[in-house]
Structure 1
Amino acid sequence: MSSTFLYGANIAANGIRQHYLRYGGTSGERGARAAVIVIPGITSPAVTWGFVGEVFGASFDTYVIDVRGRGLSEASPALDYSLDAQADDVVALAAALGLERFALVGHSMGARIAARAALRSPRGLDSVVLVDPPVSGPGRRDYPGKLPWYVDSMALARKGTDAEGMRAFCPTWTDEELRLRAEWLHTCDERAVLASYEGFHTDDFHADAAQLNVPSLLITAERGDVVRDEDVAELQQATPAMQHVRVPDAGHMIPWDNAAGFYAAFGTFLGAPLEQQSLTAAAL
């Protein structure tokens, strides 16, 4: 297929500069569907989710965002990196873009942001997809990812490293994926990452998920121990309408491990299926 990438841009929303990458646009059938805002995880700038944006863009007007303190969005020592601030960013971004209808698709930290943003009942929110959200929180087991993994890899990236330097942290990733991470990881503000990681253990994701009042889909990884079967059962008991799909042969970074399974897990939940296709040489 041809690339669905349109452009990258910055917008002033919620008092900060927010950067996003846009895919697809509103031509054809996409214009009749809700737009999609993709919210990446704790150390994932938007560009590292570009390959996902390409697929979403074939069916939806898609915006992959840089969460504050990551990528090209605003970062500073004085910036609030709390979950509430991140959720308010998403709501303000959708309003500033003038999106009449939209869905939130959040991965890991992004899923927690999506759930908290949904509690604001923003105008136009159609649905929420929570992809392998950390279910840690007050009185619960710790998040399985350990803080030194993030801190050490970011420190290496700030010094300057290459794909081989990243391989020790992400041994199953392809050379292309490792090069991209080595190039962009330095844009993740350590203060933002530390605040979000602390929030994994102090913010109550289960309470947020239980209050969802729009259609919701939970997508989890077969491996990685982030969301166990008993966690799924608890979430669905609190929100009986929540759908769930477990993606086989995948760890926490689901689209990296099993892209086809990741896209298939959405089914027609967003209004149209996602189909993974190879980009033509001219589009690369």
Structure 2
Amino acid sequence: MQSTYPHGANVTANGIRQHYLHYGGTAGERATRDAIILIPGITSPAVTWAFVAETFGRHFDTYVLDVRGRGLSEASDELDYSLDAQAEDLKALTEALKLDRYAYVGHSMGARIAIRAARTQPRGLTRAVLIDPPVSGPGRRAYPSKLPWYTDSIALAKKGIDMEGMRAFCPTWTEEQLRLRAQWLHTCDERAVRASFEGFHTDDIHADLPKLRVPALLMTAERGDVVLDSDVAEMQTLAPELQHTRVPNAGHMIPWDNEAGFYAAFGDFLGAKLV
């Protein structure tokens, strides 16, 4: 099948260089639909979401963000890696791209960024999909993954790690997925990852949920321990219009575990079915 990937590019937005991958474009029916902004997780450069973006690009004008400190976006020892800075990046990116109507689709850390950005009702935002967001925060249970899982693998990646070396960290992934992670993980700045991980426990996204003013879909993993049934109930109390779906046979990295189920879980929430 022909690729839907026109190009990658960089823009200056919120005072930093932001890199993104662009899929789909606005030809045909895509011109009538809202654009999609995919926001990956804590150690997922944009390129690792390319397989998802290809599918989205067949239906929507799609952009995959390299969150600051990851992939080809700006990183430095002085850069602010807070959730607030990441949310401002996201809002500034849509302004730089001159998007009139768009939806956030954020995974894990990316879902938290989407929640924090959406609370200010940015111009043009029409929907938000929150995929297995960490629900840790002040006074709440800790995020189930541990920081060394990230930092140890990044340290090895910076020296050079192969597919088999990466398998120790991601034993259920395919060879293609492992190769891609081994190739790109070194672009994740350890300071950025540490700041985001600490933010999982200090930033209160639950306080942001009542401020959501657009239709939102919470997508969770059936096999995951990130978002429990009790968490879903609390989130829907805080945001009564929040829809919810669980993807069967999937852990936290939902499209890696059950790609077809991941696409099916969107239904027509975004304005067109992905399958």
TM range (shorter): over 0.9
What is the CA distance between 1:2 and its match in structure 2? 1.4
Give the TM-score normalised by the residue count of structure 1.
Answer: 0.96
1:68-107: per-residue Cα shift (whole Å, max 9, x none)?
0000000000100000000000000000000000000000
| Pairing 1:6-155 to 2, within 5 Å after superposition | 6-155=6-155
Computed over aligned residues only, the root mean square deviation of the Cα atoms, in angstroms, reads 0.6
- Normalised to the residue count of structure 2, the TM-score between the two structures is 0.99
The residue number in structure 2 matching 1:225 is: 225
Identity over aligned residues, as a percent?
74
One-letter code aligned to 1:142: A
Letter in 2 for 1:131: I
Residues 214-235 of structure 1, C-alpha deviations (whole Å, 9 max, x = no match): 1000000011200000000011
Distance (Å, rounded) in 2 between the aligned partners of 1:261 and 1:50: 17
Moved over 3 A (4+): none
| Letter aligned with residue 40 of structure 1 | P
Q: Which runs of 5+ in 2 are unaligned?
A: none
The residue type equivalent to 1:122 in the other structure is P
Report the equivalent of 1:192.
Answer: 192
Distance (whole Å) between structure 1 residues aligned to residue 256 and residue 207 of structure 2? 29
Q: CA–CA distance in 1 between the matches of 2:170 and 2:136? A: 23
**Paired position in structure 2 for 1:238:** 238
- 1 CA distance for matches of 2:239 and 2:131? 16
Matches within 5 A, 1:261-280: 261-275=261-275
Mean alpha-carbon deviation: is it higher for 102-111 or for 234-243? Answer: 234-243
1:210 CA displacement: 2.5
Which amino acid in 2 is paired with 1:51? F
Do the aligned residues in 1 keep the contact of 2:166 with 2:182 (CA within 8 Å)?
A: yes
- Structure 1 residue runs without a partner (length 5+): 276-284
